[in-house]
Amino acid sequence: MADVNVDADRTQRESEDVDDKHDDKNGDRYEPGDRDRDEDMDRGRDRDRDRDRDRDRDRDRDRDRDRGRGGGGGGRGGGGGGRAEGSSLLVRNLSKDVSPDDLRAEFEKYGAIRDVYIPLDYYSREPKGFAFVEFLDRYDAEDAMREMDRREFRGRELTVVAAKQRRKTAQEMRR
């Protein structure tokens, strides 16, 4: 009876040895103890992980560039400690008697303002009815845009959108 149990144990161990062998990517059989092959597999996994991480980083950088964030880092919750780059808002449907100080007072509730510019008609020297408000922080500009859009100001309903381009300098206007 003991001989039967020994034979059964030996048969089970042999079948376990066969089960311990695995197929690699090429379909070759190998044993887990084969160190060279295990190291090659680990290197391959590391390479795949590095490639995926690089691809994710590149995709995030491209997305940030497309959104106008630049590539510097920082911002809210970021690691750089700096603030996000500023952003300009285009404010439409202003009455002709609105001054830059009036707009500054209304928009300063949402954050620090770098500049308020109301373009004038070249010939009449009267305001054109829209303005640019540039914030130091992009997040403040987004808050102001969300809160001030469709709000009534001096009897008119304002339309506030993100400006597509930054304000041109005097030098750029002369070109």
- pLDDT, one tens digit per residue, over 32-53 is 566 666 666 667 676 777 676 6
The residues pairing with 120 across neighbouring beta strands, listed in sequence order, are 127
Q: How confident is the model at residue 3 (pLDDT cuts 50, 70, 90)?
A: low
Is a pLDDT exceeding 60 seen at residue 76?
Answer: no
pLDDT in tens, 82-125: 445 679 999 999 999 999 999 999 999 999 999 999 999 989 99
Separation in Å, CA 61 to CA 65, 103, 111, 118, 137: 6, 35, 27, 34, 20
What pLDDT does 66 receive?
58
Q: Average the pLDDT over 150-174 and give the result.
A: 85
Tally Cβ neighbours within 10 Å of residue 83. Answer: 16
What pLDDT does 172 receive?
74
Instruction: Return all residues near 35 (Cβ < 8 A) that are at least 6 apart.
Output: none
Candidates 140, 154, 135; CA nearest to 93 is: 154
Instruction: Return all residues near 152 (Cβ < 8 A) that are at least 6 apart.
Output: 158
Q: Average the pLDDT over 120-132 and give the result.
A: 93
Is a pLDDT exceeding 50 seen at residue 130?
Answer: yes
